Amino acid sequence: MKQSLSQIALLVRDYDEAITYYTTTLGFELLEDTEMSDTKRWVRVSPPGSSCHLLLAKAANETQIAQIGHQAGGRVFLFLYTDDFWRDYKNYSAKGVEFIREPANEAYGIVSVFKDIYGNLWDLIEPKS
């Protein structure tokens, strides 16, 4: 049996705000932005070349709004692998991305933790080859 993750739903406040952040600040590609109704859109973004996508899901009620930025309960939620850690670290830092853990050499590669626009924690990782 072969399985894979295709996409992960990520709660956001506003579609356009999220699209701008993930494409302009993080350099992701906008894969799809389809209007489903007056209040719902199907919006997918992805790091270039990735087979796993983020589905940007606008919070629709108070319970969902309260979970924006807290989907992993304060732990690192998403892991962004890169082929050049220092390129991306410097680029993101220059664009105002907040790194909350200094870069470190770990057994698995170079890693640092950053917050996205909503407070979700991400690992930026260049794995050891």
Using the predicted structure, report yes or no on whether residue 4 has a pLDDT greater than 90.
no
pLDDT at 129: 83
d(CA 95, CA 5): 29
Cα 80 from chain centre:
8
Sorted by where each starts, the structural domains of the chain and their CATH numbers stand as: 1-68 (3.10.180.10), 70-129 (3.10.180.10)
Percentage of residues in the chain having pLDDT higher than 90: 97
- Nearest 5°: the CA angle 52, 79, 101 is 160
Closest CA to 33 of 47, 17, 19, 23: 19
Express as a percent the part of the chain with pLDDT over 70.
100
Contacts (Cβ under 8 Å, ≥6 apart) of 94: none
Q: How many CB atoms lie within 10 A of CB 114?
A: 21
Residue 92 is predicted with a pLDDT of: 98
Q: What is the pLDDT of residues 63-79, one digit of tens each?
A: 999 999 999 999 999 99
